[in-house]
């Protein structure tokens, strides 16, 4: 045990020092009791000559006292260390070093006291953000859309009449503290040779099966989260059976979230049917109680807006006293946001909600490549012009892009900037904040 590692046990907030002090006091009281008994024995009994040498009577009393205290302290530290090793080797994975325990305790205690953060979105954008945010706080709530009707989620939704589990699965995998292999298993998708299971992901089937066993999708999500040690909670925006409908500039209407991008152009308007969708009470409660609300990233028309179009959700955001942030996508999405800037993304949300303002800050990527993105991506970087209208929201620019996959965010850097933006929310500095890699 290094000196550094030992000193970490004295960090504020570990809830360790109080018990160490109590143990020390108890040991001191016990030592005092033994001292009284030994003194009584010393004055009432005549010891042989060798006993004086054995008890170091030839040394001054103050030196004997220090010697006993030092020896007792060393034995106590050694015993505590070996006890720590013995316990942790029995309850933690073999790969976990004993020296990691204090760091684990400190991180968990710190996260438990972190701000209450609600993230709204869907797809890989939301799960990427959550994977970074869970390093800062355990008080996380992910609100996910229930309008997905394509792929495995859509088939399960049609066959078993459940809300689509796809985005829920992605969020559970992102927030799980389980072994990496378990998370990989949860995301595993059966290939074409799997018969009727082809195209389904194991996680979707697991969540649906858990919902059948427990009697409801809500309980199934909670139990799945418990099994995978999820940090935070995942809440559907609504438990209603909804469909996303889009109207395009030529007047044609398309029903179904998965079919909207097939037109190859941004829709003029999207809405939910039925229009009077009920928001999930836990989602509303989380928004009203939040310290920080993060909208996006995610597909604008098919992931972000379907959440905000649930009236109870948008009203709760407006009524919440939380600090609110919108995260713009780093790249356009073919068939949804071709040619859109960060200001266009945000303006589209305001137009659909018929709101003058929604968030306090807009976060956008400043690292634009010199060359166009590969043609097969059918995507271009999202530009965030500083002179555009952001409806009173503060524009914050930073290098947020994943340098290996430039069509998505670097989740760790994005989460770091989101938390910095929240903690520096009262600063009246208008210059862009630059994230550190």
Kindly state whether residues 81 and 161 are assigned to the same domain. Answer: no
Structure tokens at 337: 């946001």
Rounded to two decimals, the pTM is 0.78
Kindly state whether residues 167 and 245 are assigned to the same domain. Answer: yes
Q: What is the CATH number of the domain that holds 401?
A: 3.40.50.10680
Kindly state whether residues 275 and 156 are assigned to the same domain. Answer: yes
| 5-19, 143-157, 278-292: least confidently modelled range | 5-19
- Residue ending a domain, among 50, 80, 102, is 102
* Beta carbons of 103 and 8 less than 8 angstroms apart: yes
Q: Does residue 192 lie within any of the structural domains?
A: yes
Ramachandran quadrant class, 251 (left: phi over 0; alpha: psi -120 to 50; beta: rest): left
Residue 1 — very low, low, confident or very high, per pLDDT cuts 50/70/90? very low
Number of domains in the chain: 2
Kindly state whether residues 130 and 98 are assigned to the same domain. Answer: no
Kindly state whether residues 59 and 14 are assigned to the same domain. Answer: yes
Structure tokens at 406: 């430039």
* Beta carbons of 283 and 314 less than 8 angstroms apart: no
CA distance 272 to 235: 18
- Residue ending a domain, among 50, 75, 102, is 102
Q: Does residue 437 lie within any of the structural domains?
A: no
- Residue ending a domain, among 77, 102, 127, is 102
Write the DSSP assignment of 332-347 as a string of letters: --TTT-TT--HHHHHH
Q: Does residue 213 lie within any of the structural domains?
A: yes
Q: Is 156 helix (H, G, I), strand (E, B) or coil?
A: helix
Q: Is the pLDDT of residue 43 over 90?
A: no
pLDDT of residue 428: 47
Write the pLDDT tens digit of every residue in 251-307: 999 999 989 998 889 999 999 999 999 999 999 999 999 999 999 899 999 999 999
Q: Is the pLDDT of residue 34 over 90?
A: no
Mean pLDDT in residue range 138-146: 93
Q: Does residue 436 lie within any of the structural domains?
A: no
Mean pLDDT in residue range 355-373: 92
The single-letter DSSP state of residue 301 is I
Kindly state whether residues 229 and 337 are assigned to the same domain. Answer: yes
Q: For residue 366, what are the contacts with CB-CB under 8 A and spacing of at least 6?
A: 384, 397, 398, 399, 400, 432, 434
The whole domain housing 183 covers 110-423
Residues 199-237: b if buried by 16+ CB within 10 A, e if exposed: ebbbbbbbbbebbeeeeebbebbbebbeebebbbbbbbb
Kindly state whether residues 261 and 334 are assigned to the same domain. Answer: yes
Q: With the CA atoms of 284, 210, 131 and 392 taken in that order, what torsion angle do they form, in degrees rounded to the nearest 10?
A: -20
Kindly state whether residues 128 and 88 are assigned to the same domain. Answer: no
Q: Does residue 291 lie within any of the structural domains?
A: yes
Write the pLDDT tens digit of every residue in 67-122: 888 988 888 888 877 777 776 666 665 555 555 565 556 566 667 788 999 999 88
Structure tokens at 379: 């995507």
Kindly state whether residues 329 and 187 are assigned to the same domain. Answer: yes
Distance of CA 194 to the CA centre of its chain: 33
Q: Does residue 435 lie within any of the structural domains?
A: no
Q: What is the mean pLDDT of the chain?
A: 86
Q: Does residue 64 lie within any of the structural domains?
A: yes
Q: Which helix (H) or strand (E) holds 109?
A: helix 101-112
Kindly state whether residues 382 and 358 are assigned to the same domain. Answer: yes
Kindly state whether residues 210 and 281 are assigned to the same domain. Answer: yes
Q: Does residue 428 lie within any of the structural domains?
A: no
Kindly state whether residues 343 and 379 are assigned to the same domain. Answer: yes
């Amino acid at each position: 045990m290094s000196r550094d590692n030992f000193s970490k046990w004295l960090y504020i907030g570990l809830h360790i020092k109080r018990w160490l002090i109590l143990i020390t006091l108890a040991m001191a009281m016990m030592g005092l009791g033994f001292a009284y008994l030994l003194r009584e024995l010393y004055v009432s009994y005549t010891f042989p000559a060798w006993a004086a040498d054995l008890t170091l009577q030839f040394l001054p009393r103050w030196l004997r006292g220090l010697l006993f205290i030092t020896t007792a302290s060393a034995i106590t530290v050694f015993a505590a260390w070996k006890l720590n090793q013995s316990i942790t080797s029995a309850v933690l994975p073999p790969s976990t070093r004993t020296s990691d325990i204090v760091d684990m305790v400190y991180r968990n205690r710190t996260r438990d006291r972190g701000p209450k953060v609600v993230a709204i979105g869907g797809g890989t954008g939301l799960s990427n953000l959550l994977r970074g945010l869970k390093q800062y706080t355990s008080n996380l709530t992910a609100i996910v859309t229930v309008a997905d009707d394509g792929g495995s989620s859509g088939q399960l939704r049609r066959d078993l009449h459940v809300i689509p589990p796809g985005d829920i699965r992605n969020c559970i995998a992102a927030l799980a503290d389980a072994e990496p292999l378990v998370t990989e298993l949860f995301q595993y998708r059966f290939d074409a040779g799997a018969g009727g299971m082809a195209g389904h992901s194991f996680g979707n089937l697991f969540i649906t099966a858990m919902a059948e066993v427990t009697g409801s999708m809500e309980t199934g999500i909670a139990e799945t989260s418990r099994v995978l040690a999820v940090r935070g909670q995942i809440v559907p925006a609504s438990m209603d059976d909804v469909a996303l409908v889009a109207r395009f500039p030529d007047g044609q209407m398309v029903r179904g979230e998965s079919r909207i991008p097939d037109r190859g152009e941004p829709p003029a308007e999207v809405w939910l049917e039925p229009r009077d969708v009920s928001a999930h009470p836990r989602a509303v409660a989380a928004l009203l109680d939040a310290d920080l609300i993060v909208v996006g990233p995610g597909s604008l028309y098919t992931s972000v807006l379907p959440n905000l179009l649930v009236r109870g959700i948008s009203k709760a955001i407006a009524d919440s006293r939380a600090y609110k942030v919108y995260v713009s996508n780093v790249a356009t999405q073919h068939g949804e946001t071709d040619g859109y800037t960060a200001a266009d993304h945000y303006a589209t949300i305001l137009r659909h909600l018929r709101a003058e303002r929604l968030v306090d800050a807009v976060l956008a990527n400043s690292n634009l490549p010199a060359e166009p993105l590969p043609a097969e991506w059918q995507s271009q970087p999202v530009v965030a012009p500083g002179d555009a209208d952001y409806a009173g929201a503060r524009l914050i620019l930073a290098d947020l892009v994943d340098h290996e996959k430039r069509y998505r965010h670097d989740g760790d850097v994005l989460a770091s900037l989101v938390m910095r933006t929240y903690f520096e929310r009262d600063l009246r500095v208008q210059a862009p904040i630059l994230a550190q890699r």
